[in-house]
Structure 1
Amino acid sequence: MLLTALYEATDPALCAAAPEGETEEAATAAEAEPQPAGRVGVVLVSHSREVAASTAALAEALVGTGDPAPVAAAGGLPDGGVGTSAELVRRAVKDVDRGRGVVVLCDMGSAVLTVKALLNDREGGFPAGAEVRIADAPFVEGAVTALVTASAGGDIAAVLAATDDARTYRKL
């Protein structure tokens, strides 16, 4: 219900109709105005390539539209083994960065340490100018809420707030 309410509250198609008297020319002019940078990107860092990829696929499926925000899985090691790779995380952040920030979710332990090390590495970390934030949230629930919120056009603060809500959501 939380995801549905969030999506419905931010879906432009569900918002009120244009004010009376707005002409087609005005609507066309508004569409021609320069658009802001793309949506917030989401990166999923797991010790397992399969876990990261399947969580990304699940989050995309639950977005509810055919146009989810950019999401990338950075799971496992480059050789396919279990672990975390700074290079895969760096590449994933670069792939999803559309100029509005990137929220990174980690499954546990060294995934968190890898991302924190990249955040603190001024020269070899993330691309210059990229706003990258780590979310303190459960991996699957956080991934879904992050991607739904980013896909609905939420800024980085809204995406992080949604993941925070996922962290505190009680199941009983």
Structure 2
Amino acid sequence: MNIVLHEPEIPQNTGNIARTCVAVGATLHLIEPIGFSLDEKQLKRAGLDYWDKLNYRMYKDFDEFVVLNNNPKIYMATTKATKTYADATYEKNAYIMFGKESAGIPEEILLNYKDTSIRIPMSQNIRSLNISNAVAVTLYEALRQNNFDNLETAGQLHHHKW
């Protein structure tokens, strides 16, 4: 799976998303400009000690991302979509893109992806979910559709003697 962040602004959110990507083996794609340095303390704190295990790539802009990834099918997470994230059928290597916290994905990009734009249902009086929550909700649906391929799906209780 591939998570794409278009111009992320808040290091704690990106750190949380990075940790989620490490937990499921997803690649994180970061499209510049980004609103922080990748060595900021908050970013490392939010990603905890997982940052060195993250597979991530940087791009100078959206066009470079598209070219270097061979014009992939991209699911655009946006409050402007007419279909929900659960209506989409995700491939094993799906690309799911999220926009910057203050503005989302620019409309000039969304216009070319109407058929693959998705939204998370929510009350009318709320602008949007936190981006790290939105990534988790959407990514885990895509993983569920692919039978949580290569992920541990069962835990085990340990019997302790008190």
Fold shared, TM-score > 0.5 on shorter chain: no
TM-score by length of 1: 0.37
In terms of fraction of residues, the more helix-rich structure is: 1
In terms of fraction of residues, the more strand-rich structure is: 2
TM-score by length of 2: 0.39
